Chains A and B, each alone.
Chain A
Amino acid sequence: MITLTINGKPRPFSGDPEMPLLWVLRDEFNLKGAKFGCGMGLCGACTVHVNGEPARSCLMTAAEMSGKSITTIEGLSVDGSHPVQLAWEAIDVPQCGYCQAGQMMTACALLAKTPNPNDVEIDSAMSGNLCRCGTYRRIRAAVHQAAELGKVRK
């Protein structure tokens, strides 16, 4: 039995300890926000936070997550009111939307450490997240806007 902390709640898991966190989240705990794109850490669609750091949930096993604190897109806010979500909505970022949960989780982690990033810092932090629809420039604009919204909140 492994106990993971997911979005603040302890969640016991008794399945295959080698199962990647992504599938634990999606198929065991029905948290479908993190997406499967490549299974090799190449696309970033499965990005979640592990102890506050952005991580590729497709590459980490359930066993490795024991005692760790995991935040998924579902844990950002219940109603889409997190600054990153508000900024993404205001900039009208998504096309298909499949990559955007991963993009937002990466952006959140960036803003937590670098509250007012410049373009180069954003590009560098976000370069591991693919967007097949090509919304990159809107994502960058949304990260800037989220930084502004974050300041207002504080």
Chain B
Amino acid sequence: MKINRRFFLRASVIAGGGFMVGLHPIAKLKAQGPPGANQPLSPADFVSISSDGIATIVAKNQELGQGALNLLPMMIAEELDVDWKTVRVVRSGVGPQYGGQITGGSTATPSNWEPMRRIGAAARQMIVAAAAQTWGVAAEECSTASGVVYHRASSRSLRYGELAAKAATMPVPAFTSLKLKDPKDYKIIGTTTAGIETKEILTGKPIFGIDVTVPGMLYASFEKTPVLGGKVVSANLDAIKSMKGVKHAFVVEGVPMANPYPNYLFEGPGFEAGVAIVADSWWAAQSARKKLEVKWDFGKWATQESEANARRADELAAQPAGRTLRKEGDPEAAFQREDVKVVQARYEFPFIAHATLEPQNCTAHFKDGKMEIWSTSQFPAPGRTTVARLLGIPETDVTLHMVRAGGGFGRRAYNDSMCEAAWISKTVGAPVKLLWSREDDIRHDYYRCGGFQYFKAAIDRGGKLLAWKNHFVAYGEGDAFVHDGGFNAGEFPAGYVENLLVQASKMPLGLKTGALRAPGSNSIAWVMQSFIDEVAHAAGADPAQFRLALLKKSTAGTAPVDPRARALNPARMSGVLQLAMEKSGWGQRTLRPGAALGIAFHFSHGGYFAEVAEVAVDAKKQVTVNKVWVVGDIGSHVINPSSAENQVQGAVVDGLSEMIQEITLKNGHVVQSNYHDHSMLRMPQAPAIEVSFLKTNNPPTGLGEPALPPILPAVANAIFSATGERIRTLPMTKQGFRFA
């Protein structure tokens, strides 16, 4: 949230003698909306104090289980200097005045750390000014604690609630001039707060998207083309309409995506063609769907096969690369030297689905030209824009309510179900709850993109990494990779090897791809940190010491680098790596036969993580992950410690699941359909996970994503140490390994 130039602080009075402070957009701000539209913007009030002293704080980001309802309000409450137990958290609406309501990329903490604290500080400063004026003393002589202003010299005090009405009349401070607390005085930031909706979760209250009920609501099930871009030729609509409970059945033409490889997030996801069935219960709609017979025209992707894509990747790898992403030194000369050892490997990783436990769903009500939506979207603001464009109505006529999501992991960044629900509601002229089946959800995802890496490394006689080459073969056309299917040319060890060549080639793809928790990183960390491990073993070095030595050899700045490349800070990475070695007893412990440790690190989304896994592998290649040590550097503060630990442990379990998952294509259709063939870790397989944070003097950053990527290579590297077999293809079941 960039606020300095786009917003100003404003205070206002609320009924009953309270006051409210918020950020108000500068009037000329160009709003998101139909092209060219300038909309009147309403204020975004973030904190209010009522006369009884209750602080109501607005949470502007969506809650998916990552703790957003706590995080941003905790920042405000800290600087406001109130007791957390007197805070009431409420969700904001959705609109441009909230300065970007995007939950993704672990951005909520870093982008809101400054503005949220300043909003709290502004409210506090106005309350102090009100007290000072009441007492006829200087504001500097007053202090605050737990929602009370003190004038110690005269032993006087007033509660915030008593001052709220007067505070509203005080001058509004300039946003950038506010004095923030010394972090050593923090009482809320760094102290665990319980989830805002935990009570409701534990008593089964209807708080999720799937639970939304609107009077007069109908239920929709939507059969979409199983092949991307397919069209409905005909369907037995009359038979379906005659079925019990069915009110409507109709063909939806679908809306093509903005361009073949779009940025789905902002240009609109389009939505697929199919047949919508609307009934008086979801069960009736779903039962009718079982009798649905559709004749499809599948179009150009009907022959696409995963196996053919893999063969094509090998062909492309044998040819000159499509593009060089980064080159340093003279790698070809280094590979041809006679005194070097050359290591080569091919890695392959699959497409995978998000499979959030709550399937995609959305409730929409189109009435009198206006749309009201209840959604679990991670990107509600772009969703509102997209729906307005889709229906051809002004964005101001789309009201969007954020509802708790049963997991996001990036899937709910894509507003396809929102578009479908809006379209169906408008077509039938009634409120409609659209719910996808699990099969819909697995087969119509924006998948984590698969890909292939072809590696070559040269090690000199001293065991030093002399040259590194990786040829990334993935999906795209022309210069563009498919959405979130590219490669970060700054990925380690780029910048740490004198002779380096990073290349990429592409082939076309007829499947939607997208952001899955730690996008890019969740596959790149596995391939890069696995191959570094191969090189370390080939060099006869300890894999952890080899990495530490590499991190000391920065060559950064010797060659032009893609400005989009995200590069790590080697001192911070060495810090977490060394602590992970210490915590896990790396090199210090004797493990029983069949057991071994593996190590890996990765920098993503602003966070530095090193992880060590202890695994045991039996003769049947059954893998038990006994324990995982995670060390993270996410800056100076861990805002909500219990929630943070939960996120990290969850990221590890999630990463382990990614080692056994795949989505494959046959005749253009996604083969997998439910949790039996796109499985995930279960309780007996979940390891003990010890989480440590290395606090460094850097602004705090987000935690939803960066803990995930290193676990895959850490486990794969441990499996190599235990068995001598290197996992070069995921899912690891392709090499006969499975979790015990």
A residues contacting B by CB (< 8 A) are 15-16, 18-20, 23, 26-28, 30-40, 42-43, 45, 72-74, 76-80, 85, 88-89, 92, 94-101, 104, 122-124, 126-140
Assuming the A-B contacts A32-B204, A133-B407, A134-B681, are A89 and B198 also in contact, with contact meaning beta carbons closer than 8 angstroms in the complex? yes
Instruction: Kindly state the separation between the CA atoms of A46 and B618 in the bound complex, as whole angstroms.
Output: 35
Q: Cβ of B680: which chain A residues have Cβ within 8 Å of it?
A: 130, 132
- B671-728: which residues lie under 8 A (CB-CB) from chain A? 674-676, 680-684, 686, 688-689
Chain A residue with the shortest CB-CB distance to B652:
A134
**B121 sits at the interface (CB 8 A):** no
Q: Cβ of B407: which chain A residues have Cβ within 8 Å of it?
A: 95-96, 98, 132-133
Assuming the A-B contacts A23-B283, A135-B646, A140-B683, are A96 and B64 also in contact, with contact meaning beta carbons closer than 8 angstroms in the complex? yes
Interface residues on B, range: 35 or more
Q: Can you name 13 A-B pairs with beta carbons within 8 Å? A: A19-B281, A36-B359, A37-B359, A38-B675, A40-B676, A42-B674, A73-B204, A94-B195, A127-B683, A130-B680, A131-B653, A136-B653, A136-B686
**B119 sits at the interface (CB 8 A):** no
A92 touches B244 (CB 8 A): no
B650 touches A133 (CB 8 A): yes
Q: Cβ of A140: which chain B residues have Cβ within 8 Å of it?
A: 683
Encode B523-561 as 1/0 by CB contact (under 8 A) with A: 000000000000000000000000000000000000000
Instruction: Kindly state the separation between the CA atoms of A101 and B358 in the bound complex, as whole angstroms.
Output: 13
**B573 sits at the interface (CB 8 A):** no
A137 touches B688 (CB 8 A): yes
Identify which of B435, B646, B682 contacts A95 (C-beta below 8 A). Answer: B646
A130 touches B202 (CB 8 A): no
Instruction: Kindly state the separation between the CA atoms of A124 and B685 in the bound complex, as whole angstroms.
Output: 11
Instruction: Kindly state the separation between the CA atoms of A138 and B645 in the bound complex, as whole angstroms.
Output: 11
Assuming the A-B contacts A74-B204, A96-B405, A98-B407, are A27 and B357 also in contact, with contact meaning beta carbons closer than 8 angstroms in the complex? no
Instruction: Kindly state the separation between the CA atoms of A126 and B438 in the bound complex, as whole angstroms.
Output: 21
Q: Cβ of B665: which chain A residues have Cβ within 8 Å of it?
A: none
Chain B residue with the shortest CB-CB distance to A94:
B201
Instruction: Kindly state the separation between the CA atoms of A133 and B437 in the bound complex, as whole angstroms.
Output: 20
**Chain A contact residues: over half helix, strand or loop, or mixed?**
loop
Assuming the A-B contacts A72-B204, A79-B203, are A92 and B198 also in contact, with contact meaning beta carbons closer than 8 angstroms in the complex? yes
Q: Cβ of B192: which chain A residues have Cβ within 8 Å of it?
A: 92
**B213 sits at the interface (CB 8 A):** yes
Report the minimum CB–CB distance from A4 to chain B (whole Å). 16
A138 touches B202 (CB 8 A): no
Report the minimum CB–CB distance from B551 to chain A (whole Å). 29
Q: Cβ of A126: which chain B residues have Cβ within 8 Å of it?
A: 683
Instruction: Kindly state the separation between the CA atoms of A37 and B361 in the bound complex, as whole angstroms.
Output: 12
Q: Cβ of A38: which chain B residues have Cβ within 8 Å of it?
A: 438, 674-675
Report the minimum CB–CB distance from B670 to chain A (whole Å). 16
**B107 sits at the interface (CB 8 A):** no
Report the minimum CB–CB distance from A88 to chain B (whole Å). 5
Q: Cβ of A42: which chain B residues have Cβ within 8 Å of it?
A: 674-676
Chain B residue with the shortest CB-CB distance to A99:
B357
